[in-house]
Amino acid sequence: MRIVLLGATGFVGKHLLPELSAAGHHCIVLCRYKPASKELALIPGVELRQVDVYQDCVLSEQLEAADAVINLVGILNESGRDGSGFHRAHVELVAKIIEACHQVGVRRLLHLSALHAGNGQSHYLRSKGEAEELVLQAKELDSTLFQPSVIFGSGDSFFNRFAGLLKLLPVMPLACPKARMQPVWVGDVVKAMTIALEKKETYGQTLVLVGPRDYSLKELVEFTAGVTGLKRRIAGLPDPMARLQGHLMDFVPGKPFSSDNYRSLQTDNTSTENAFWSLGIRPHSIDGIVESYLGVSAHQRHLDRNRAQAGR
């Protein structure tokens, strides 16, 4: 199958492309700057094309002769605060993809959304919900929506981000410590997408993808401290302080946290539904996997203890 992918130079895409390649698909990856992702071109069957997907006619030109489109584009924060950045990435681009599919006759579309898209007060969830509505209204498409919880795995922006913060802070002031989520392994997500791609039963479906267990945010940060071998105090902030932290972080370069993140965390990222089972996938837990790419090995911990004792 000839597949055009958008957003595939990001975290999920770097795991999805090898899976699609192994299944024998030819993948055309549309990117903003080709040299920054040249390692992806080493994957068999992957072709990089540097284009501006927001320019008129570009998408329709790139979708010529394609059998399917996969949209992985998503942002967790925007440069401003009014929601326009989220709307451009999540809604305007999806509208352009749908129009391009209509123009060249591509029917198959896989769209990576978010759990509880359309719920809550955050620009992130609202824009994700608007995008889903556009896809579902396009009756000429054989579309499948994927709604994952927080995705983890090698190169993720969740456990890696907290690990970086924990290294810097002896005490972690944590906003929304009681927020709940069901982390889902990226390996399971990309396997689900690869299976669903050619599974007609998934046409028109919204597939919820969650891990086998839900945790509070504080539990996950404590878990991160444990696997990285850091002894840290995690201080959960009361709601007014959490809201204030989000507001202040809006003006910090890189936005490690934001007021929109705060609003997203007011909606628990969990579900009793789970499409993995219908796809024949047994979802993996965080145990073992996070430590494999983030943690300190047992051997290293043993060496560190011996060195500490020898230095006394």
Model confidence at 30, pLDDT cuts 50, 70, 90, reads very high
Q: Which residue has the higher pLDDT, 92 or 256?
A: 92
pLDDT in the model for residue 306: 54
Q: Rounded to an integer, what distance in angstroms lies between the CA atom of residue 279 and that of residue 82?
A: 38
Indicate if the pLDDT at residue 298 is higher than 60. Answer: no
pLDDT in the model for residue 131: 98
Window from 135-139, 191-195, 291-295, 305-309 with minimum mean pLDDT? 305-309
pLDDT in the model for residue 29: 98
pLDDT in the model for residue 296: 59
Q: Exposed/middle/buried for 51, CB within 10 Å: 0-12, 13-18, 19+?
A: middle
Indicate if the pLDDT at residue 56 is higher than 60. Answer: yes
**Mean pLDDT of all residues in 83-107:** 98
**Mean pLDDT of all residues in 185-189:** 98
Evaluate the CA torsion angle 184, 190, 191, 197 in order and state its sign: positive
% of the chain with per-residue pLDDT over 70 = 95
- What's the maximum distance between 2 C-alpha atoms anywhere in the chain? 73
Region of residue 54 (left: phi > 0; alpha: psi -120 to 50; beta: else): alpha
Average pLDDT of every residue of the chain? 94
Q: Rounded to an integer, what distance in angstroms lies between the CA atom of residue 16 and that of residue 54?
A: 23
Q: Rounded to an integer, what distance in angstroms lies between the CA atom of residue 227 and that of residue 201?
A: 40
pLDDT in the model for residue 309: 55
Beta-carbon contacts of 310 under 8 Å, excluding residues fewer than 6 positions away, are none
pLDDT in the model for residue 228: 94
- For residue 19, CA distances in Å to 46, 188, 288 come to 11, 11, 21
Domains and CATH numbers, the chain: 2-152+184-209 (3.40.50.720)
**Mean pLDDT of all residues in 87-113:** 98
pLDDT in the model for residue 311: 53
Q: Among residues 110, 94, 127, which one has the least CA distance to residue 25? A: 110
**Mean pLDDT of all residues in 163-181:** 96
What pairs with residue 180 in β-bridges? 216
**Mean pLDDT of all residues in 289-311:** 63
Q: How many C-beta neighbours within 10 Å does residue 311 have?
A: 6
Phi first, then psi: give them for residue 71, nearest 5 degrees: -105, 115
Over residues 235-279, the pLDDT tens digits come to 999 999 999 999 999 999 989 999 999 999 999 999 999 999 999
Q: Rounded to an integer, what distance in angstroms lies between the CA atom of residue 235 and that of residue 242?
A: 11
Model confidence at 98, pLDDT cuts 50, 70, 90, reads very high
- For residue 234, CA distances in Å to 48, 226, 250, 262 come to 43, 12, 22, 17
> Which amino acid, one-letter code, is at 164?
G
148: enclosing H helix or E strand: strand 142-148
